[in-house]
Structure 1
Amino acid sequence: MLTRRDSLRLLAGAVVGAAASPARSAIAADTPPAWTVTGSSSPSLQPFDDLLKSFMEARSISYASLAVVRQGRLVLARGYNSTSGPVLAQPTSLFRLASLSKPVTATAIMKLVQDGRLSLSATVAPMLGLNTAVDSRLGDVTVLHLLQHLGGWDRSVSFDPMYQWDFNISSRLQVPLPVTQANIMDYTSRYKLDFKPGDRYAYSNYGYMLLGKVIEKVTGLPYATYVQQNVLAPVKITRMTQGRTAQSLRRPSEIAYYSQYSGTTVLDNSGAQVPMPYGTFNLENMAAHGAWLSSAVDMAKFTTIFDAPGLLTSSTIAQVFAPPAVDWSGSYYGMGWSVRPVSGGLNTWHDGAYPGTSTLMVRRYDGLSWVVLFNQWNDALGQNYTADIDYPLHVAADSVTSWPTTNLFPSYGL
C-alpha cells in the first residue's frame, strides 16, 4: 500500500536576500501552446504520460524529461514539450540537476572511503586549510558531518554563502566578482558556526561544496574529473558534465531554462540585469552541490548503483542509507539521500531547485525508481513543482497493472 512521503523539501537553491524582491523578466517562451512527446515507453505506462501532460500544462512548464526504472531495467524514457519548439526535450537532453548533484558527490566520497583513501572521521579544516581562529569547533567538522548535513551551518539561522552572498563576499574581502570557492571558504570561516558539529541536522549547500574540495585534495584531480572517471564511467554514464552559468555557455544538448524573474549578475561588477537562471547565482561555484548537468536516463542509470553491489559494495551501500547519530523521526538524511524506512525496505530520494530548475529522483523499496527534470522552478502562484509531482508519480506507478519487460538502457548507450 502506498505511503506518501513527507519530503524534506531539500531545495538546492531556496534563493533569499537579493532575490526577495526580484524584477520580472520576459523570458518565458512566446510560442503557442503545443504538446510533443519524444522517446520510448509502453502503452501500459500511459499514466505517466497523462500525468506529465496535465501537470506541465497546468503550470505552463515548457520542457521536462522522465525516466522510469523497474528491477534495474529502464522501461520509460521520455522528453515532454508543451511548446512548439524549435528545440524539443529528448530523453537525453541535459538539464541542470540542482541538488541531485549531492548524491553524486556523496557516492564519490564513499568510493574514496571504500578504496581506503579517505576516512569518514577525517577532520576537514586541516585538510582544506580552513581558519579555525573565529570558532575552534570548525576543527571538529568531519567528512561524515558534511555528508549528513551535521556540520554546524544552518542557513535558516545565518546565511547560505552559495546563494546571493557574492556581493557581500566581494565587498568584505575586497575581491572582484565573480568570487571563487576559495573566497567563499575564507568568508564563511570568519563567522561562528550556528551549532556544534554533529548536534543536529541542518541542510547545507556549503558543506557539500567542501566535500568537492575534499575530493580534489585526496585525489589530486579536479572534482568533476574524478567523478566522471571513477563514478560515472564505470556505469557507462558519459553525457553528464558540469554546467556553466552564462546563457551563452549552454551545452549543445542542454535545455533552456525559464523564470519570470531577473536580477543583478554576480559574474562581474557591471550591475547588469540578467534572467534569473543565467547569472544571479554562480553555478561554477556549486560544482559539488548543484552544478551537474544530466539527462533523466543517465540519472536513472545512476540510481541502479544502489540496487546491488558493483561500483559500491553492499557494506558501503548500507552505510549510505544508515541513519545518522542524531534524533530523527519518520525520515532522515543519510549520505546524499533522504531516507524513509517503510514496510518492506527503504524509500530513498532527493530533490533540488533553483531558478530555472526543478528536479526529483526517487528509489522505492519495491524496485521502482524514477527521475523527473523540469526547466522551471517558480511561477506566479509560488508552486513547488517537485513537491507537487511527488505523490502523483507514486499514484501513477501504482496504477500500472502490466510492466514491460524490455530494457531501454542499451538504446541510450547505458
Structure 2
Amino acid sequence: MKSLDKFQSIKYSDSKHFLHFNWALVVSLLLLVLFNLTTISCSDNSTGTDPAVDPQPQPQPQPDPPPAAEVAVVEISPRHGWLLTGDTVQMEVVLRDANGWALTGREIIFESSDNDLAEISESGLLEVKDIGDVTITVSSEGKENTATFSLKPGGGLRVPELAVVDSLITDMIERYDLPGAAVGITRNERLVLLRGYGYADRDAGEIMTADHRFRIASLSKPVAAVAILELADRGLLDLDQPVFELLNHLQPLPGAIPDSRLDDILVKHLIQHTGGWDRDVSGDWTWTPHVRTIATDLNIPGPPNQEEIIRWSMGRQLNYDPGSKYAYSNLGYVLLARIVENVTGQTFEDFVRNEILIPAGAERMVIGNTFFEDRLEGEVRYHDTPTMLSVYPGRGQVEAAYGGFSLPMRDGQGGWVSSPADYLRFLHAVDGRPNRHDVVGSSVPEWITTRPTGPAFDGTTTWYTGFSVRSQSGDYFWSHSGGLPGTRTIVIHRPDGVSYVIFLNASGSGNIASEVSQILGAPLNSIPASEWPNHDLFNHHP
C-alpha cells in the first residue's frame, strides 16, 4: 500500500513538472512569433504602421508623357455670306487633332486679304470698312482655313439670328438692280432688326442707313384712317355721319350738277373704299393727267390744292351707290384729311403729329416736299423715274418723282415721309397689343379688326379699314402697300407677333415690295421662338 502511494506520489510530481515545462514552451513559442511579426512589419512598412490597418501603396514610376497632339483641322464660323459696311463679326475658331478632339491653348493667326476692305483683330473680330470681296485666313501650327465674304453698302446692327434677311434683301437689290432698301422687323412689338441696304443716293454714292426716311406713298392711308377713328373714339364725329355734312363749306364749282348720291357717302365709306368712286372706270382725279384737267377747268397755273380737287369732283357722277361696292379710292382719303382739319381746327399734319405720332415716338414722320432741292434731312433720293412735263409751270420736263405731281396735295392718301422705325412705332401704338402703350382709344383697333357689314364685303375674306385686314389663326393679319414714282413700300402685321416694313427708293417692276414680302415671310416663319433675338432697338434709333 505504501509502495502504491509512493508510486502515485511520484506520478503526481512528474505531472506537475510536465505541465510547467509545457507552459514554458508555449510562452517561448509565442514570443518567437511576435518577434518575427515585428521584424516583418519593420521591413515592409518604413513608417512603422501596421499594413493590415493602414495600407500605403508604393508610388509606381510614370511613363514619359506622349508628345502634344498636332493641329490637324481648323474650323471657322461663319464661312461665307453678305456683310454690310460697318458690320462687325466675331470669328469663331475650333482647332482639332487628327482624332477630332478639340485643342486649346494654341496660337491662332487671323489675316485679311485686304485691310482696306475689312480688318480683323488678333482676337478674330472682323470689321467691314468698304465694299468688295474679302478672304479671311485663319491658321494655327501650319494648318489653315478660309472664309469669304461679299461686302455690300448698307448699315444698321447686324443680327446673326436674322442673317437670312440680309441675304434675301441683298439678292433682291442685285436681281432687280435697285439702288437701295430699308427693312425693319419687330417681334412682340420689340424692334429686333433695322437695316439699310444699298444706296440712299446711288448717283452721289450715299450709303443707305437704317434711319433714312422715305416717301411711304399709300402707307399714309392707315395714318389718316387712325386719325378719323380716334376722333370718333373721342366723340367728335360719327362714322355713320354724312361726309358732306361735315364738309358743308365745300360746294361744287359754279354750273356743275352734283350727283344726288353725294349725300349718301358716310365717313366709314371713305375709310373702307366704298364711297362711290372707281378709278378703274373714271380715273384717279388726284393724279396726273387729271390734275392738269382740273387746273385748266379752274383756270389756275399750278396744281390744284385738295379742296379745289374735291369741289371739282363734286360735279362729277359717282360710279356706284355708296357702300355697295369696294373700289380703291385716293380721293376718299383726301376727303378724310379735310374732315380731320374741319373737326379739329388744326392742319391734318399737325393733328396727326401732335395727337398720334409724337406720343408714339414717331417724331420724324412728316408730310414731305415735292422737289429734290427740298428733300428732308435724311431723306433718300428717288431713282429710276420717267421724265414728264411738270405739273408746276415753268419747270418743263422733270423726273416724275420731283415735280410730276404735288406730294403735299396727297397728304391723307400718300404724302407722309417716314423711317422704317417710325412707321413701326406708329403701327404698334394703334394695334391694341399689350407690349407697347397705345396712344389711341381702345375702339380704334377694335374697329380696324371688325369686319364691315353690307354688300361691299359679302363673301370676301379681306376687308379694308385703313389697313387691309383678314382673319388668321384666331387673330388678324394687317397689311398695306404703296407706290409712287421712285418708291415702293409695304407693311405686314402678323398674328404671330411678327411685323415688318420694307421701303424701296425705286419703283421697280410690278409690286416688287409685295413680292419681297412673300419671299421674306417663309424664312421668318422657320425661326423657332427660342431663337429670336430678345433685344429692342427702338431706343437706339430716332
Query: Above 0.5 in TM-score?
Result: yes
Corresponding position of 2:232: 113
1:112-151 mapped onto 2 (5 Å cutoff): 112-129=231-248, 130-131=250-251, 133-151=257-275
Larger Rg: 2
Between the aligned partners of 2:413 and 2:442, the Cα distance in structure 1 is 25
Corresponding position of 2:358: 233
SS at match of 2:209: coil
TM-score (norm 2): 0.67
Corresponding position of 1:9: none
Corresponding position of 1:275: 399
Of 220, 223, 243, which residue of structure 2 is paired with 1:101? Answer: 220
Between the aligned partners of 1:88 and 1:347, the Cα distance in structure 2 is 33
**Structure 1 residue 314 corresponds to structure 2 residue 442:** yes
Between the aligned partners of 1:356 and 1:347, the Cα distance in structure 2 is 27
1:53-64 mapped onto 2 (5 Å cutoff): 53-64=170-181
1:4-43 mapped onto 2 (5 Å cutoff): 35-43=152-160
Between the aligned partners of 1:253 and 1:316, the Cα distance in structure 2 is 31
Between the aligned partners of 1:52 and 1:328, the Cα distance in structure 2 is 37
Structure 1 residue identity aligned to 2:261 = R
SS at match of 1:76: strand
Structure 1 residue ranges without an equivalent (≥5) = 1-30
Q: Report how far residue 260 of structure 1 moved.
A: 4.2
Corresponding position of 2:539: 410
Corresponding position of 2:128: none
Higher relative contact order (CA 8 A, sep 6+): 1
Q: How big is each residue's C-alpha offset from its partner over 1:257-302, in whole Å with a ceiling of 9 and x where there is no partner?
A: 012411010122x360000111111111101110100000111112
Worse-matched range after superposition: 382-391 or 195-204 = 382-391
Structure 2 contact 385–506 (Cα < 8 Å) conserved: no
Structure 2 residue identity aligned to 1:156 = D
Q: How big is each residue's C-alpha offset from its partner over 1:204-247, in whole Å with a ceiling of 9 and x where there is no partner?
A: 00000000000000000011000000011111111111111111
**Structure 1 residue 364 corresponds to structure 2 residue 494:** yes
1:14-413 mapped onto 2 (5 Å cutoff): 35-81=152-198, 83=202, 86-129=205-248, 130-131=250-251, 133-164=257-288, 165-268=290-393, 270=394, 272-305=396-429, 306=431, 307-308=433-434, 310-325=438-453, 326-378=456-508, 382-401=509-528, 402-413=531-542
Structure 2 contact 478–493 (Cα < 8 Å) conserved: yes
Between the aligned partners of 1:136 and 1:260, the Cα distance in structure 2 is 40
Structure 2 residue identity aligned to 1:71 = N
Q: Report how far residue 330 of structure 1 moved.
A: 4.8
SS at match of 2:477: strand
Normalized per residue, which structure has more strand? Answer: 2
Structure 1 contact 47–400 (Cα < 8 Å) conserved: no
Q: How big is each residue's C-alpha offset from its partner over 1:116-138, in whole Å with a ceiling of 9 and x where there is no partner?
A: 11110121113223447421111
Q: How big is each residue's C-alpha offset from its partner over 1:315-362, in whole Å with a ceiling of 9 and x where there is no partner?
A: 331111212223344532332100121223111100000110100000
Structure 1 contact 34–81 (Cα < 8 Å) conserved: no
Structure 1 contact 247–278 (Cα < 8 Å) conserved: yes
Worse-matched range after superposition: 187-196 or 125-134 = 125-134
Between the aligned partners of 1:146 and 1:392, the Cα distance in structure 2 is 32
Q: Report how far residue 67 of structure 1 moved.
A: 0.3
Structure 1 residue identity aligned to 2:506 = Q
Worse-matched range after superposition: 330-339 or 390-399 = 330-339
Between the aligned partners of 2:306 and 2:287, the Cα distance in structure 1 is 12
Q: How big is each residue's C-alpha offset from its partner over 1:144-172, in whole Å with a ceiling of 9 and x where there is no partner?
A: 01010110010001011111112100111
Between the aligned partners of 1:371 and 1:110, the Cα distance in structure 2 is 23
Distance 1:55 1:330, change over 3 A: farther
Between the aligned partners of 2:379 and 2:151, the Cα distance in structure 1 is 20
Between the aligned partners of 1:45 and 1:120, the Cα distance in structure 2 is 42
Structure 2 contact 270–333 (Cα < 8 Å) conserved: yes
Q: Report how far residue 142 of structure 1 moved.
A: 1.1
Alpha-carbon RMSD: 2.0
Structure 1 residue identity aligned to 2:539 = P
Distance 1:411 1:148, change over 3 A: same
TM-score (norm 1): 0.87
SS at match of 2:184: strand
Between the aligned partners of 1:368 and 1:324, the Cα distance in structure 2 is 25
